[in-house]
Amino acid sequence: MALLSVRDVTLRFGGIVALDGVSFDVEEGHISGLIGPNGAGKTTAFNVITRLYKPDSGAVELDGQSILKAPPHKIVQQGIARTFQNIQLFRTMSVLENVLVGAHGRGRKAGEDEALEVLDIVGLRERAHFPAAALPYGTQKRVELARALVAKPRLLLLDEPAGGLNHEEVADLGAFVLQLRDDLELTILLVEHHMNLVMSISDHVNVLSFGRKIADGPPAQVRADPAVIEAYLGSEEEDEEPQSGSIQSPAPAVEPPDEGSGFSPLGENERG
């Protein structure tokens, strides 16, 4: 059963059609990828789902109920939380204070207990009182993820979580996202340019190009779709050797995180 349903959503910015009749479902308990070249409309779709943008037409439903009339600040209460392509932390606040923003309205003591539990999950409890601005880039991404998780969402939207991470960190992230889905019983919608990550952990993939959905299906089917290959590589480049991480590169299997890894998406290798 679909937890999230997007139906015939169109959004225009003046003469630019950012989303053109886009429809897709995210099944409960699944990890769904939303991919496409730069400017395809992926983050715009996230912004519609989280009510930052109001579509010109179409419907967005969570568990069968429309969310298009909910104000943006009420979306978390509907069961949706997200991270951002560009890190959005309060840089002068501590790690714990940033995560507490996601627990707004629960009371200081209850919120702090829950925030510390989530910091345990992402491996940052020992840094709870560090200023967010003093942390490495990859660690700041974990803080933002913790802030989303403390809201106890049913649907978690991850906007390019692998951005700025090295190969080893991306592999750890894939295992971490799978374990998050299983342990916290989450449904996840993932926007990501790192094709190996998307193809290795997604149950279903939707592809956008110039604001339109051009394909969807299991990862192997989407990877082989001619329309998807053309959108990424161009029709004249289809016979060339695929680059690492391109839509045609084989997706490696994701290994489970090591025991005692602190359930950290980045393991011990943090970026400076």
Report pLDDT for 246: 56
Residue 32 lies in a domain: yes
Place of tokens 């998307």: 198
**Is 200 found in the same domain as 119?**
no
- Domain that includes residue 135, residue range: 90-150
Instruction: Output the pTM of the full model.
Output: 0.85
**Is 158 found in the same domain as 145?**
no
**Is 205 found in the same domain as 260?**
yes
Domains of the chain: total: 2
The CATH number for 8's domain is 3.40.50.300
**Is 121 found in the same domain as 23?**
no
Spatial CB neighbours of 100, under 8 Å, sequence gap ≥ 6: 111, 112, 115, 150
**Is 157 found in the same domain as 39?**
yes
**Is 4 found in the same domain as 70?**
yes
Spatial CB neighbours of 227, under 8 Å, sequence gap ≥ 6: 207, 209, 214, 215
Report pLDDT for 24: 98
Report pLDDT for 242: 44
Pick the last residue of a domain from 125, 150, 175.
Answer: 150
Convert the pLDDT of each residue in 229-265 to its tens digit. Answer: 999 877 544 444 444 455 555 555 555 555 444 444 4
The rounded radius of gyration (Å) of the Cα atoms in the chain is 18
Residue 218 lies in a domain: yes
Which residue numbers in the chain have pLDDT < 70?
Answer: 105, 107, 235-272
Residue 187 lies in a domain: yes
Report pLDDT for 259: 46
**Is 70 found in the same domain as 194?**
yes
Convert the pLDDT of each residue in 12-33 to its tens digit. Answer: 999 999 999 999 999 999 999 9
- Could you give phi then psi for residue 261, rounded to 5 degrees? -80, -5
**Is 72 found in the same domain as 176?**
yes
Report pLDDT for 249: 55
**Is 100 found in the same domain as 75?**
no
Convert the pLDDT of each residue in 216-232 to its tens digit. Answer: 999 999 999 999 999 98
Report pLDDT for 233: 75
Place of tokens 């943006």: 72
